[in-house]
Structure 1
Amino acid sequence: MVSKINNFVISFLDRAHLDTKKILTTYIYALILIPLFFGSFIILTSSVAKQNINVVLNNTPLIAIDMIVALTDFIMGYYIWLKKDLILKHEGNYHFLMFSQAISQLMVGNIFCLILALFGIIRINEQSGKLKCQSSFIKVPAVIFLTIFGFCLVLTISIFIRK
């Protein structure tokens, strides 16, 4: 069953001509553009309601948490964009990045980025066997962002428990 799904995804990626570089580029665009659109939406909503953004964030803590997630996604997207060539140079770095990002995006519920990260994992696993991350330039930020997303997940759960 798993191999059938894996083969289906690989054939889909082949038909869509998505290699590791294109997946990473699309992932970077998603990490940068989605937070910009979300921030624009919050600003538009607050201006239509004739409220200050601080009032909106104080009244709805989930939006404040989502703003933290959006800012973190934007920073991570920018960092990956700066280190794109180094990430693509070694397959272990790419695999570690995509795996950590899949976990991060799953924690915050960003399904589109989760799917892109899973596509990247499947594509790199298809090309290579065992992969080990070589550089700390990707390990340290990935762990920091995992921690931030974990904190945001705990905050979200605590808000839902209080209600």
Structure 2
Amino acid sequence: MMRKGFFYAVCCVLVVAVAGVAYAQFAKPGKAIAYRKAVMVLLGHHFGQIGASLGSATDRNTVAKNAGLVATLAPLAWEACMVPGTDKGDTTMASKVFKDRDGFTTAAGAFETAAAKLGTVASEGDMGAIKAQFGAVAKTCKACHGEYRSR
């Protein structure tokens, strides 16, 4: 148990360190886009791992590990979304993010809150509660992508 806590602490420190370095590079829209996309790829991967594990009651540890990572990653992309020019170029972020900052911030906050709750629920191990919260997180993803992502 102690090793698991230490592992999560080290992961959190590394994520914060990388975020700090990336934030310093956000003067260039391309760097912010690359950072945001990397965070989204990681979120998608770990969220997908949870979804793939939900059918097996024996995968509680896998679910908890990935849910903890989703909760940690959830707040990281938003600063990169607010850099002027990041709605142009190699991105699917819609310019509506800049036109409706309050709505976007609310949607991002709903995702962060739902992801944090998923991390907590997953650590408790109740697969029914995990499935329900997984669905709640998925709804926040869809809500934001539906409004603030161009195709």
Query: Do they superpose with TM above 0.5?
Result: no
Q: Highest Rg: 1 or 2?
A: 1
* Greater RCO, CA 8 A, separation 6+: 1
Say which structure is richer in helix: 1
Q: TM-score, normalised by structure 2?
A: 0.39
